[in-house]
Amino acid sequence: MQRAIRIAAAATRRALSSSAARASPPPPRGPLAPGWGATRWLCSGREALSYDVVIVGAGPAGLAAAIRLKQLCRAADTDLSVCVLEKGSEVGAHVLSGNVFEPRALDELIPKWRQEDSPIRVPVSSDKFWLLTKNQAWTLPSPFDNKGNYVISLSQLVRWMATKAEELGVEVYPGVATNDVGIAKDGTKRETFQPGVELRASDFENTGRITLLAEGCRGSLSEKIIRNHKLRERGQGQHQTYALGIKEVWEIEEGKHNPGSVIHTVGWPLDTKTYGGSFLYHLDDRQLAIGLVVALNYRNPFLSPYDEFQKFKQHPAVRKLLEGGTAIQYGARTLNEGGFQSIPYPIFPGGAIIGCSAGFLNVPKIKGTHTAMKSGMNV
């Protein structure tokens, strides 16, 4: 309720102007229509947002940037209006759960998080690395060091970070599309067409306002900006490469659940020419996050990452964990695999690209959450 009031009040305060005003100076911060719907009616076209800092994407990068900005404002006894736009229906809706989290960025951002009611509760208790053949699982020395890390639900983490950001005065708007939606393949507008919110980049350049793109891997706005401003060439970054991660969260039988257990695998069902591997992370509440990551440069055109994942779940060492359990969540998401050498120059006139939008995932560690946060905090 309080949040709804805050959003309505914010929408009234903020300048949301019509497309006709696009070329004009930033709209005055006077009262407009109360709430989003009424503003839409008022504008009858594209909404334009005018804030000191607009952050696109409520993932770890965008929220860490928002929190750090407001902390800096407090320290300098000043204020900047900061908003975070999220296309998911709620914060965390488009973020895949089940993550081994390295807390060092959070230690810097919210040093007292351990004393708070954060969703980071399950320390890594064991860290195994298996080589799979069709029927066997061979234990190898683990190339990862997850001591001091936590098994978390990333969607819970971002929801918690969003409340932290809001406590500091950040306005977080889920369900906001920055791209037009409801366009048919032939380019015509369907009945469901809704214009995306316009980010007033020209205003940012003219008045010093900032846009931070934190859309995650291969964000549509970020890719456009990287192309238009030749940021890859400018940063001497190589092309980016990608993998697809398919993930499910299962509720498994109590006796099979081992909170904090982390297992990574290589080998079967992928062949020796296909780069990838799987993971099994035991969260709390009998939950197991299980997934397969397949690099998207696979040679066999008939390979289906989804079908390989189904095969993987039939491996004797995996199947026995899942038997008697229930799948409660599923999703798929791309991740950057290019590494350090594929990071473009992350700054453009009026803004910056942060987190996985820029490719800050540490590939050998398969960790991008804390690096995304750090890139947002240091921007």
Ligand X SMILES: Cc1cc2nc3c(=O)[nH]c(=O)nc-3n(C[C@H](O)[C@H](O)[C@H](O)COP(=O)(O)OP(=O)(O)OC[C@H]3O[C@@H](n4cnc5c(N)ncnc54)[C@H](O)[C@@H]3O)c2cc1C
Which of 57/267 has CB closer to ligand X? 57
Distances in Å between the Cα of 191 and the Cα atoms of 18, 188, 214 are 21, 10, 30
* CB of 316 closer than 8 Å to CB of 354: no
In the complex, minimum distance from the CB of residue 94 to ligand X, in angstroms, rounded to a whole number: 3
Q: How far apart are CA 284 and CA 148, in angstroms?
A: 17
In the complex, least distance from residue 217 CB atom to ligand X, rounded to whole angstroms: 6
Is the link from the previous residue into 269 a cis peptide, with omega within 30 of 0?
Answer: yes
Query: CB 154 → ligand X: shortest distance, Å?
Result: 6
DSSP run (H or E) holding 277: strand 276-282
Distance CA 97, CA 303 (A): 25
Nearer Cβ to ligand X, position 134 or 224? 224
Shortest Cβ 62–ligand X spacing (Å): 6
According to DSSP, the residues that pair with 266 across neighbouring strands are 131
Q: Closer to ligand X at the Cβ: 43 or 221?
A: 221
Give the nearest distance from C-beta 159 to ligand X in angstroms.
11
Rank residues 76 and 278 by Cβ distance to ligand X and give the closer one: 278
In sequence order, the 6+-apart residues with CB closer than 8 A to the CB of 9 are none
Question: Quick one: which of 51, 10, 55, 7 has its CA closest to 32?
Answer: 10
Residue closer to ligand X, measured from CB, 315 or 333: 333
Burial of 56 (0-12, 13-18, 19+ CB in 10 A): buried
User: For residues 327 and 273, what is the distance between their CA atoms, to the nearest angstrom?
Assistant: 30
Q: Which residues contact 263 (CB under 8 A, 6 or more apart)?
A: 128, 129, 130, 279, 280, 281
- Asked if 354 and 214 count as a contact pair (C-beta separation under 8 A), the reply is yes
Nearer to ligand X by C-beta: 72 or 181?
181
- When the beta carbons of 132 and 158 are compared against ligand X, the nearer one is 158
d(CA 359, CA 218): 8
Give the pair of three-digit tokens for residue 307.
């079908």
Min dist. Cβ of residue 39 to ligand X (A):
18
Q: Nearest distance from residue 368's CB to ligand X, in Å?
A: 2
C-alpha distance from residue 22 to each of 101, 218, 281 (Å): 42, 27, 48
Residue 234: Cβ-neighbour burial (10 angstroms; 0-12, 13-18, 19+)? middle
> How many Å apart are CA 210 and CA 352, to the nearest integer?
8
Nearer to ligand X, 24 or 297 (CB): 297
Query: How many other C-beta atoms can be found within 10 angstroms of the C-beta atom of residue 28?
Result: 10
Q: Which residue's structure tokens are 């004393």?
A: 115
Closest to ligand X by CB, 136 or 297: 297
Q: Tokens 């060092």 map to which residue?
A: 104
- Least distance in Å: CB of 255 to ligand X? 25
Tell me if residue 2 falls in helix, strand or coil.
helix
Contacts to ligand X by CB under 6 A: 56-62, 85-88, 94-96, 99-101, 154, 178-179, 214-216, 219-221, 245, 247, 291, 293, 333, 335, 355-357, 361, 366-369, 372
What's the closest the beta carbon of residue 266 comes to ligand X, in angstroms? 15
For ligand X, give the closer residue by CB, 78 or 291. 291
State the nearest-atom distance from the C-beta of 77 to ligand X, in Å: 29
